[in-house]
Homo-oligomer: A and B are copies of this chain.
Amino acid sequence: MTVNEETPFSSEEKLVQLQALLTQEDQTAVCDFFVDLPDTEIALLLESFPASDREKIWVCVPEDLKGEVLAEVGDDVRSALMSEMALSDVSELTKDLGAQDIAEILDTVHESVKEAVIDNLDDSTREQVQALHAYDDNMVGRYMDPSTVNIKQDVTLETVQRYIRIKGLLDETTQEFMVTDKDNRLVGSLGLVDLVKQNQEAEVSEFMHQSVSLLDEMNVHDAAVILRSKELRFAPVVNQEGILVGQLNIDHIMEITREDADNTLLSMSGVSDDEELFAPILSSAKSRGIWLGINLATAFLAAYVIGQFEAVLSQVVALAVLMPVVASMGGIAGSQTLTVIIRGLAMGQVGGNNRWWLFNKELWVGALNGLVWALVVGGVAQLWFDNWMMSLVITLAIVINMTVANVSGIAIPLLLRRMKIDPALSGAVILTTVTDVVGFMSFLGLATLLILT
């Protein structure tokens, strides 16, 4: 099947088709729709409907895919789908899944159901699931695939190939074999490509390479950054003793990469990273409400600053008219810098003495843009209100606010990081507070000094 822009193929078009089928209430057609769809697409579709429609879709998901689909959907959707499920259903669903998927699904169910399901698993899967659950959910160990294909270094490539065929090992995602010693300590890895490409009489040791391995308790986001910077598609995972415990695959690296980028975007806008698009009204309202409350506190701080200048405001009402322009220009300039710096921090490009270079740069960018746009604002203000003194005041205030905004845009995320706080989460609100307060204070303060009679 060849894909191009005209093929009815994109997720959105599939979604519209499924909506139409559901509206026609034709159960058979809905069920036919899922034949041949991969689990990942079914999961995305499930997430694209409000809870009320999900049940109608769920009954049509092919039985042999239900487990994988459940492992794939977000936590909220999974909880909703599983809330009514009997223990026997959960056992049935998890029967043929890998340890990773089972561990993921069991995170959502009641402790009692979880234990019962784990008891029903075969020995090796149970051990793997328990091993995964032993890690915190931001550790590499929680995301790794515990089943690896292990080989010894003193056998020939030909022997490895025969061994694989006899044992029926390898799944679609295998890219590397782990070379281990008799104590299961990692000594290197052999690429599937080399297994095929190289002289079959040679021993594994001749073509194995030292791969970058990850410690199981390492933070998985840091691990993803490292693997990405090296363009690695895979990494063995070892414990403190150097014993091989699993591998981290490209799919998970990609998933974590995308989640990290998403989370930055959501955090900066004050949305919780686990808010589902189709979450119920009350739950969305509650999760966004917290951020609104924090913002309100900072808005009142800005209002308090303005309140200190009531005298000049009551004398020159035009100040109230132009006031938001000063705050707004500072806010935009600051958030441009903030975004550039947060992205640079995420990529590991900001550190050591280049901070001072960047500081200096942002200071000048702020001052330069501040000057240019301050003159424009000053000009417009003069034409509008014909008050030379006020035009001078707003020109100065904008230069000050935009310069401070740019410097804050780099200082705030660096300080937050030193305090081990995620700059994406609180950077924006602190920055806005700074630009509002500095903006109103410089504008109304200068006005008090120069205009108030």
> Taking the nearest CB of chain B, how far is it from the CB of A22, in angstroms?
9
Q: A4-B218, A269-B336, A277-B340 are in contact. Are A41 and B230 (CB under 8 A)?
A: yes
Q: Tell me, yes or no, whether A88 is within 8 Å of chain B by CB.
A: no
Report the bound CA distance from A16 to B204 in whole Å. 38
Report the bound CA distance from A162 to B404 in whole Å. 67
Chain B residues, CB < 8 A from A298: 328
Report the bound CA distance from A369 to B302 in whole Å. 21
Q: Mark A259-292, 1 if CB is under 8 A from B, else 0.
A: 0011011101111000101100110110011011
Q: Tell me, yes or no, whether A233 is within 8 Å of chain B by CB.
A: yes
Chain B residues, CB < 8 A from A199: 165
Report the bound CA distance from A242 to B275 in whole Å. 43
Report the bound CA distance from A223 to B5 in whole Å. 9
A197 touches B226 (CB 8 A): no
Q: Tell me, yes or no, whether A213 is within 8 Å of chain B by CB.
A: yes
A213 touches B40 (CB 8 A): no
A333 touches B230 (CB 8 A): no
Chain B residues, CB < 8 A from A44: 229, 347-349
Residues on A lying within 8 angstroms of B by beta carbon are 1-5, 9-16, 19-20, 23, 38, 40-41, 44, 47-50, 161, 164-165, 168-172, 174-175, 191-193, 195-200, 210, 212-215, 217-219, 222-223, 225-226, 228-231, 233, 238, 242, 250-251, 254, 257-258, 261-262, 264-266, 268-271, 275, 277-278, 281-282, 284-285, 288-289, 291-293, 295-296, 298-300, 302-303, 306-307, 310, 313-314, 317-325, 327-329, 332-333, 335-336, 338-340, 343-344, 347-354, 357-358, 361, 364-365, 368-369, 372-373, 376-377, 380, 384, 432, 436, 440
Q: A12-B348, A335-B270, A343-B266 are in contact. Are A369 and B230 (CB under 8 A)?
A: no
The 5 closest A-B pairs by CB, nearest first: A11-B348, A261-B261, A4-B215, A320-B320, A16-B352
Interface of A is mostly: helix
Which of the listed residues A295, A299, A319, A350 has the most CB atoms from chain B within 10 Å of its own CB? A299
Which of the listed residues A282, A293, A318, A320 has the most CB atoms from chain B within 10 Å of its own CB? A320
Q: A299-B325, A321-B306 are in contact. Are A230 and B40 (CB under 8 A)?
A: yes
Q: A47-B349, A295-B332 are in contact. Are A40 and B229 (CB under 8 A)?
A: yes
A372 touches B171 (CB 8 A): no
User: Which chain B residue has the least Cβ–Cβ distance from A304?
Assistant: B321
Report the bound CA distance from A376 to B254 in whole Å. 43
Q: A2-B242, A19-B352, A328-B299 are in contact. Are A336 and B271 (CB under 8 A)?
A: yes
A306 touches B324 (CB 8 A): yes
Report the bound CA distance from A261 to B376 in whole Å. 34
Partner of A230, one of B38, B165, B222, B271: B38
User: Which chain B residue has the least Cβ–Cβ distance from A217?
Assistant: B4
A50 touches B357 (CB 8 A): yes
B281 touches A218 (CB 8 A): no
Q: A170-B193, A213-B1, A350-B12 are in contact. Are A340 and B275 (CB under 8 A)?
A: yes
Can you give 14 contacting A-B residue pairs, CB < 8 Å?
A4-B217, A5-B218, A15-B348, A15-B349, A15-B351, A40-B230, A49-B354, A257-B257, A265-B265, A265-B268, A266-B340, A270-B336, A277-B358, A288-B333
Q: A170-B196, A213-B1 are in contact. Are A262 and B343 (CB under 8 A)?
A: yes
Report the bound CA distance from A350 to B266 in whole Å. 17
B214 touches A191 (CB 8 A): no
Chain B residues, CB < 8 A from A347: 11, 44
Chain B residues, CB < 8 A from A325: 296, 299-300, 302-303
Q: A3-B223, A15-B352, A250-B254 are in contact. List 9 more A-B contacts (CB 8 A).
A: A38-B231, A175-B175, A233-B250, A254-B257, A269-B335, A278-B354, A278-B361, A288-B365, A293-B373
